[in-house]
Amino acid sequence: MTATSTELLQAPAGPRRRRSLLRAPISGIAGRIGITLVLFTIALVVIGPYVAPYSPFSIGATSPASGPTTAHWMGGDLVGRDVFSRFLDGGRSVILIPTIGVVIALVIGTLVGMWCGFRGGLSDSLIARLVDISFALPPLMVGLLLVAGFGTSSIVLVAVVVVLFAPRILRVIRGATHALVGQEFVLAAIARGESTRAIIWNEIAPNISGPILAEGAIRLTYAIVLIATLNYLGLGVHPPAANWGLMVSENLDIIAQDPLACLAPAAGIAIMCIGVSLVADQVGAYFARNVSGDVRP
């Protein structure tokens, strides 16, 4: 069984590692497959709009609810737009919004988590209780409430991801930091009189790079599914925008006539999620096997 960020917290901590972070995702076959799937999806999202044979918004480009033909490889949707062109154009918001949100959540959760885990005290306990309370709220319900209250703009969707996942990342990083505070190399830095910021940056952060990377990848998977779900429910981008989640919702009524209108965007979401999950598992397994290193001179 591959390791996750939770398993990394149970592994023995060691001094700061010098191993390259770039080796972690490609250190096993699962990681290489995951990287390939992720890069394929990213290339599709970046290049797709420029090679689409038709405008993704052109109504009547083909017969409504038509099946695949030589001119329209994935057929036409309910109003005759080319499904293949919409598929090539529809992945950007599904990938970009969750990625931006998770990066922001990762920065916030990591910084606050390391500070709380190192400093401890009343503020640490208070933040920990607030995080525990946030776990009691179903993520989809929180997302629906935020979208209903503030609208469905890209900024709101990014904020949904940050609000939902920053506390979860914070909890993991706080636990990883707690596991290092009593280690000799951290105690030595404290004895030398180094500042809290220096200790966190030079001693703590390099040694929890595994949990940070693994947790970021895991949360990205969840965020992609969440944003796709909100789009499917009509709470993300609005028609006539091309979006994989919205495409599935729009074309459910014609799935018998043109299955690719639903299956293609669903496959795009699945490929990205599977790829990111494989990378997360590989990163977790790599750092669980390589948790020790040499003390910095």
pLDDT band at 21 (very low <50, low <70, confident <90, very high): low
Has residue 124 got a pLDDT over 90?
A: no
| Residue 163: HSE in the Cβ half-sphere, 13 Å Cα cutoff | 19
Measured CA to CA, the distance from residue 157 to residue 237 in angstroms comes to 10
In a domain, 267, yes or no: yes
In a domain, 125, yes or no: yes
In a domain, 82, yes or no: yes
Lowest mean pLDDT among 70-74, 85-89, 117-121: 117-121
In a domain, 15, yes or no: no
CATH number for the domain spanning 145: value is 1.10.3720.10
Measured CA to CA, the distance from residue 156 to residue 85 in angstroms comes to 27
In a domain, 152, yes or no: yes
Measured CA to CA, the distance from residue 154 to residue 190 in angstroms comes to 44
Say which residues have a Cβ less than 8 Å from residue 169's Cβ, sequence separation at least 6. 105, 106, 108, 109, 110, 113, 215, 216, 219
| Residue ranges making up the domain that contains 203 | 22-58+73-289
The predicted model gives 255-277 an average pLDDT of: 93
- The secondary structure of 152-188 as a DSSP string is S-HHHHHHHHHHHHHHHHHHHHHHHHHHHHTSHHHHH
Number of domains forming the structure of the chain = 1
Tally the residues of the chain: 297
Classify 148 as helix, strand or coil.
helix
pLDDT band at 296 (very low <50, low <70, confident <90, very high): very low
pLDDT band at 97 (very low <50, low <70, confident <90, very high): very high
pTM surpassing 0.95? Answer: no
In a domain, 165, yes or no: yes
Classify 255 as helix, strand or coil.
coil
Has residue 4 got a pLDDT over 80?
A: no
**Is 5 within 8 Å of 284 (Cβ atoms)?**
yes
In a domain, 226, yes or no: yes
For the segment 125-173, what is each residue's pLDDT rounded down to a tens digit?
A: 888 888 888 888 888 888 888 888 888 888 999 999 999 999 999 999 9
**Is 126 within 8 Å of 119 (Cβ atoms)?**
no
In a domain, 30, yes or no: yes
Say which residues have a Cβ less than 8 Å from residue 80's Cβ, sequence separation at least 6. 59, 60, 61, 62, 63, 64, 66
**Is 162 within 8 Å of 101 (Cβ atoms)?**
yes
Measured CA to CA, the distance from residue 93 to residue 81 in angstroms comes to 19
